[in-house]
Amino acid sequence: MPSMETENSNVLRAEEIKLLANEAFKAHKYSQAIDLYTQAIELHSENAVYWANRAIAHTRLEEYGSAIQDASRAIEVDPKYSKGYYRRGAAHLAMGKFKEALKDFQQVKKICPNDLDATKKLKECEKAVMKLKFEEAIAVPESEKVEPQYDGARIEGDFVTLNFVKKMMDDFRNQKFLHKRYAFQIVLQTREMLCALPSLVDINIPDGKHFTVCGDVHGQYYDLLNIFELNGLPSEDNPYLFNGDFVDRGSFSLEVILTLFAFKCMSPIYLSRGNHESKSMNKIYGFEGEVRSKLSDTFVEAFAEVFCCLPLAHVINEKVFIVHGGLFSVDGVKLSDIRAIDRFCEPPEEGLMCELLWSDPQPQPGRGPSKRGVGLSFGGDVTKRFLQENKLDLVVRSHEVKDEGYEIEHDGKLITVFSAPNYCDQMGNKGAFIRFEAPNLKPNIVTFSAVPHPDVKPMAYANNFLRMFS
């Protein structure tokens, strides 16, 4: 058994060799560095730094398996040593093992919440994992053949056409389903189009042309059809923006989202993310259960991935700001700050993205806690400052049921629009949409009542526990 003196001598000698190894590493002599770190480890194997340093030298030589082994040993020696997780995560990332890398960078973030590089790597991994899940989800149905007896809408070739959409909408009206192959084609194409957009989308309406903004639809497919009856189908000359909360609560959410996505494939509509375009909401309020029931489990991840690609806000002609929820807990937020949001994730519980999706106006000035427990309430003075600082005229948002389908607040500077009449078959409210005509963009609000739908109750696919309290 080595004496205390020998142990101390080994520790000191190991540290000297580590410094030589570091110099070799800095000189890009990675093999030499590995040899020297190995000598240091042989003298003092319970130092996590030596293992982690040898791991990064292996990574430089693209010896990722050895790097993972060394980084794992560093973590065994010191479970709170962030560089062990970081080095292992980097090796996993280099090997394309995104799920494993994600776990490592999550651990780095937990130990060092202010590590900017780890935060960046974590976001890269989250995106890669979502993409991976999406690709896994769409891989199986690609090989599915459309059965000869299938008499529903068909996409001929690579492009969604108006004839296809009309046939699909009519099939949905008659409670027929779309073949999975075509549903995947729509979802995949929509994802590709949405991913190419910024987090804040600028819309230009030429003089003499009009533009329609709709609020929450919440799976009320037959009321969506009624909007199109009243205001015309989406087209290049009749463009729409649907301002989030397309799904959940109403039991025809799949029909709603596939219809909106199909029109998106043809380009005459814009889509904003709402707070219900998220996994946590979909799991509770029905969309996840409905997708599983009408399509398959594989579609659940596919829709979740596409929802993470939805833009967060729109601006019409540099005058009208449109967002699902509302404004912010701090003054001074510029449109450029919204454009800079990395939105490709599940909504966080705080920050600009959360507030865009969850906040509500309040009648009194200033800011207050949110009645929802997420986001905040903001007064007319907050709205006024935001508009002045960004040289805008009006905020349009949705997110709240209103008796008349809309409400004008904050001295006319903020309009709430809600497009799900008789919400959940029990609120008795009207629905509304807003038509803007360029150049003056004066809001023309159209209200409408609910129309009959098949006898499927709202929340039919919702979490069983939640239905007990509905």
Active site residues: 276
Give the integer Cα–Cα distance in Å for 244 and 191.
Answer: 16
Q: Give the angle subtended at the CA of 183 by the CAs of 182 and 186, to the nearest 5°.
A: 85
Number of residues in the chain: 470
Q: Residues 6 or more apart from 382 whose CB is under 8 A from it? A: 327, 328, 331, 365, 366, 367
Dihedrals φ, ψ of 294, to 5°?
-90, -25
Q: Residues 6 or more apart from 191 whose CB is under 8 A from it? A: 134, 305, 306, 309
Pairing mode of beta strands 210-214, 200-203: unpaired
**What is the per-residue burial (b if ≥16 Cβ within 10 Å, else e) of 257-272?**
bbbbbbbbbbeebbbb
Q: Give the angle subtended at the CA of 354 by the CAs of 348 and 355, to the nearest 5°.
A: 160
The one-letter amino acid at 404: E
Bridge partners of 316?
203, 320
Give the integer Cα–Cα distance in Å for 231 and 250.
Answer: 22
Q: What is the chain's alpha carbon radius of gyration, rounded to the nearest angstrom?
A: 27
Give the integer Cα–Cα distance in Å for 374 and 436.
Answer: 31
Nearest to 271 by CA among 221, 331, 201: 201
Give the integer Cα–Cα distance in Å for 326 and 366.
Answer: 14
Supply the DSSP string of 162-209, one letter for each residue: HHHHHHHHHHHHTTPPPPHHHHHHHHHHHHHHHHTS-SEEEE---TT-
